[in-house]
Structure 1
Amino acid sequence: MRYGVIGLGAIAPFFLEAVERCPESTLTAVCDLDPARTQPLADEGTPAFTDYRELLAAGVCDAVIITLPNHLHAEVAIAALEDGVAVCCEKPLAITSADARRMAETADRTGTTLFTAFHRRYNRHLIGLREALPADRSQITRLTVRYNENILEHIGGDRWYLDAERCGGGCLIDNGPNALDMAHALVGGLSVTGVRLGDVRSGIEYVAELDLVSEDGVPVRVELDWALSTGEVKDVVAELADGTVLRADMLEGFTAFKSSLQHEYDGILADFRSQVAAGRASCGTGVEIVGLVEDAYAVGRAESGRRRSKLPTPTRMVRLLFHTSDDRGMTLSQWGTRCIPAGEIHELVTTTDRPRAAGDRIDAVGFLGFVEFQEGTVVAVGDEVRLADGRLIGTVAGFDECHFPNHYNIVIESDRLWTATSAGLEPLDEVRFAEGGAVARP
């Protein structure tokens, strides 16, 4: 099979290495908007393109592997399918169910294989757990899937993961499809019963907890977290009616970072080739998982709108600041929440940087000033900060402790550097903190 790889970001190397390992596969084209990414492969003789349409028109591929930002999957996959080129698409298949269905309908109409790359279903420990589970799924009393990591350790230079428009959300649409597919592989079809989204920053959630139920009535919990300080936890626990507890740790025995992916991506290509050889068009759970993620967002956002865990907290300006800095050198602390008694005074700073993990440096800063908290509260990452007239300054990114114990710098992520001047603030003006998500990182 002659493969073209479209998109050479953080995921592409795992596919490229799998193609190289497989004697039945050949890399015949690569495509990326950035010629610097394609150049090393071009130097080895692989045809390189900056436009996927030119790659398809060249007629050098039997199949393409799509590892683009999520919002581009549908456009590129449909174009390939229309040309009779089989498609192996990174998860999620699409951001919306409507796009996923269009992709599947195109595959069915053209008789061309459309395949979603859920790599964890090929993990040897998950396969072992599936084989160990009782055939009578009613004997499973609970299934828990955990998929937790520090997202910044995984994305390399692909900042689109942190862009709600291009990614489609946060941990739920990124890690969620793998976790949901793992559960589906063990207990079958699922439906959403409850969702909590939290630690929301610039419109993307870093925490999600999903409750689901299988068609056979098995309760399923999926726990997702993008905000671990370091490391990762990817496992499944199955509790049985007789008291037995079975567990599959996806990372067990794989000591190097991402080393478990080698055998998983080999599994993707082997399964994909078998689907193409069998002449199957749209196949697998790709469309179904997109629907589950879409349902989960709908439930989670509705819950977030109805249920609040704290009241908005008023503060008043007691000292205004008017300057900005592009080399402030603040450092994001490890804390996602801080308890603040009534009467305490803390400094508000805005930033256009995107600090995510403890220790991240914060240089681009605009200073609003010092506020006195009128009521005791808990300020949390993801809280919205608004002026008295309702204008949104931004969301709390975390805290800098360079002046503690005198005061915290409350770091507010924003689309511009606000100061007391640009905000039109006067002494005693109100600034209000309000909950931005239903779940806060501790």
Structure 2
Amino acid sequence: MLKKLKLGVVGVGNIFKYAHLPAWSAHPEVEIVAFCDVNESAAAAMAREHAVAGVYTDYREMFADKEIDMVDITTPNLFHSEVSIAALHAGKHVYCEKPDAINPEEAQRMADEAKKSGNILMVTRNNRFRAESRFLKTYIEKGHMGDIYTGRCGWQRRWGIPGSGWFTNKALSGGGPLIDLGIHFIDLSVWLMGSPKPVSVVGAAYSKFGDKHLQLSQTVQSSRNQAAYKNDVEDLASGFIRFDNGATLQIEFSWASHVEEEMAYLELRGTQAGAKLTDRECKLFTDIEGISCDITPKFPAGIHPHTENINHFVDCVQRRTEPIILPQFGVDMVKILSAIYTSAETGSEVKL
């Protein structure tokens, strides 16, 4: 009988409640034993609802509990690295919401602490666990697409600037849709391409709708402290990434822009076939007996990707398998995001 893993949670907001909690609660090898949040009443309410005894406002006090085996971190982005490093240093395995950190230096510190501690550090990459993504990964690894030499990915919204204040506060979030949405499909694209190393980027960022959103938010949230609310992040970012194997990736991510509809997508082009993956379907494009063919695979309903991601983390902690999400991937990802922001500010290509 495997040991039942005891979990402490840092941050009990909507990301935890709707994306992480269902998976933890359903896992037979996990027991949630503590909740920590700077909002003590929120942590206490969550503890009452789930019959959990441990309630904290200081994560350091929670990490002092030697009974806790692993920690789930769903704080604002600014605190991901700080809390992760403290948890690893305290001997805990760490599962953290994306992004890994808001700058490459902090992401590297996380990776270094994970290596030093010997514990698992895994940052959410739930799109890798979609049935379509896993199918494409196998299809590509078997050589059916040939040499993947270029691609593009994006997530565009017509109007979808988050209402929560910290998402639009650069000091807390690290940026707008690029760091919020971009990390999902850039990571998925690079992973499917075989994880080549990024060597340079060119990027642009635009803030065209922030003032309008701020005015609307202040009207709707009149009972809140409006002085603390701000929107100083981009609402659209685009760019171009070069990799060490000569492959390239175009990107575009927006919270607000005048487009026909919201869509998340990636397209990869190989010498033997192409692939398109959206939030709705997966398609392959190839030639069969000299005839151009479009193929639409059909996938049965499966487990939610967030749940699959957390299940994989537990499997790694229990030493049943090796992680497919490594800390170095996070370092490379945050380097890309940071370089795109720098390129947008300077108007120049940034070497990595």
TM bucket normalised to smaller: 0.7 to 0.9
One-letter amino acid matched to 1:290: V
1:266 to 307, 327, 340: 307
Q: Secondary structure at the match of 1:216?
A: coil
1:20 paired residue number: 25
Counterpart Cα distance in 2 of 1:77 and 1:162: 23
1:121 to 117, 128, 137: 128
Counterpart Cα distance in 2 of 1:8 and 1:79: 18
Counterpart Cα distance in 2 of 1:80 and 1:127: 30
2:318 to 277, 283, 289: 277
2:188 to 178, 182, 185: 182
One-letter amino acid matched to 1:108: K
Counterpart Cα distance in 2 of 1:161 and 1:299: 22
Compare CA radii of gyration and give the structure with the larger one.
Answer: 1
- CA drift of 1:63 comes to 0.6
One-letter amino acid matched to 1:209: S
What per-residue deviation string (whole Å, max 9, x for no partner) do you get for residues 382-422 of structure 1?
xxxxxxxxxxxxxxxxxxxxxxxxxxxxxxxxxxxxxxxxx
- Runs of 5+ unmatched residues, structure 1: 254-259, 306-442
1:272-351 equivalence runs, <5 A:
272-278=313-319, 283=327, 285-303=329-347
1:192 paired residue number: 200
Counterpart Cα distance in 1 of 2:121 and 2:155: 26
Q: Secondary structure at the match of 1:84?
A: coil
- Runs of 5+ unmatched residues, structure 2: 211-230, 283-300
Identity of aligned residues (%): 26
2:225 paired residue number: none
User: Is 1:104 the counterpart of 2:111 in the alignment?
Assistant: yes
TM normalised by structure 2 equals 0.75
Question: C-alpha root-mean-square deviation of aligned residues, in Å?
Answer: 2.8
- CA drift of 1:261 comes to 11
Considering fraction of residues, name the structure with more strand.
Answer: 1
TM normalised by structure 1 equals 0.61
Counterpart Cα distance in 2 of 1:23 and 1:199: 46
- CA drift of 1:127 comes to 1.9
2:298 paired residue number: none
Cα distance 1:266–1:246, how it changes in 2: closer, same or farther (>3 A)?
same
1:144 paired residue number: 152
Counterpart Cα distance in 2 of 1:22 and 1:231: 36
What per-residue deviation string (whole Å, max 9, x for no partner) do you get for residues 173-228 of structure 1?
21122122111111122333321211354431111112113333222112101115
Cα distance 1:304–1:287, how it changes in 2: closer, same or farther (>3 A)?
closer
- CA drift of 1:165 comes to 0.6
1:80 paired residue number: 87
Cα distance 1:88–1:231, how it changes in 2: closer, same or farther (>3 A)?
farther
Alignment coverage as a number of residue pairs: 296
Counterpart Cα distance in 2 of 1:103 and 1:232: 34
User: Is 1:91 the counterpart of 2:91 in the alignment?
Assistant: no
User: Is 1:218 the counterpart of 2:262 in the alignment?
Assistant: no
Equivalent pair of 2:168/2:232 in contact (CA under 8 Å)? no
Higher RCO, 1 vs 2 (CA within 8 Å, ≥6 residues apart): 2
2:290 paired residue number: none
- CA drift of 1:15 comes to 0.7
User: Is 1:250 the counterpart of 2:258 in the alignment?
Assistant: no
Equivalent pair of 2:236/2:257 in contact (CA under 8 Å)? no
2:167 to 150, 161, 172: 161
